[in-house]
């Protein structure tokens, strides 16, 4: 098992979130691939999007439903600075996750986390578990609590 997946598993346990990490054998990098592999609606896939603050350089994680788009103006207003896409190498170096496997869990304390409120409408959502083919399901409110993500209007 990869170190990234082990970190996700330990983080879930530490926060009382019972999950079963599934290796799908095929890519779950896109929302469509993930939904097909998880046998769920695209809207139930949690996209983990990392942006960089244009003034501070701080990293921000935005958890968004697979059927929605992050509203950059709303997200920028929420964090109080303009945002730009973070460099994939920096994401890997600072979070320990590669693009396509960025998990809402096991994020460093330096990364502030926000979640799209619409995720709370589902009984179950699916999120990346630290690798391009690893996922887990969770009840949305429990996932947001374990991820230490603030619910917000960001789409």
Q: CA-CA distance, 64 to 43, in Å (whole number)? A: 9
108 vs 32, residue with greater confidence:
108
| Length of the chain as a residue count | 155
pLDDT, one tens digit per residue, over 88-135 is: 999 999 999 998 899 999 999 999 999 999 999 999 999 999 998 899
Whether the Cβ atoms of residue 122 and residue 43 lie closer than 8 Å to each other: yes
Q: State the DSSP H helix or E strand holding residue 46, giving kind and residue range, or none if neither.
A: strand 46-53
Q: Could you tell me the domains of the chain? A: 3-152 (3.90.960.10)
pLDDT, one tens digit per residue, over 63-74 is: 999 999 999 999
25-34, 43-52, 86-95, 124-133: least confident range: 25-34
Q: CA-CA distance, 32 to 99, in Å (whole number)? A: 16
pLDDT at 25: 78
């Amino acid at each position: 098992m990869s170190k990234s997946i082990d970190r996700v598993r330990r983080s879930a346990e530490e926060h009382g979130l019972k999950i079963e990490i599934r290796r799908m054998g095929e890519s779950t990098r896109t929302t469509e691939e993930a939904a097909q592999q998880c046998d769920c609606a695209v809207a139930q896939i949690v996209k983990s999007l990392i942006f960089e603050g244009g003034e501070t350089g701080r990293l921000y994680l935005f958890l968004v439903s697979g059927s929605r788009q992050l509203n950059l103006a709303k997200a920028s207003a929420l964090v109080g600075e303009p945002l730009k896409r973070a460099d994939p190498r920096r994401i890997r170096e600072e979070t320990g996750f590669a693009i396509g496997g960025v998990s809402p869990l096991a994020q460093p304390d330096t990364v502030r986390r926000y979640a799209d409120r619409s995720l709370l409408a589902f009984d179950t959502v699916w999120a990346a578990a630290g690798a391009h083919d690893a996922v887990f399901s969770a009840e949305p409110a429990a996932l947001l609590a374990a991820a230490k993500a603030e619910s917000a209007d960001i789409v």
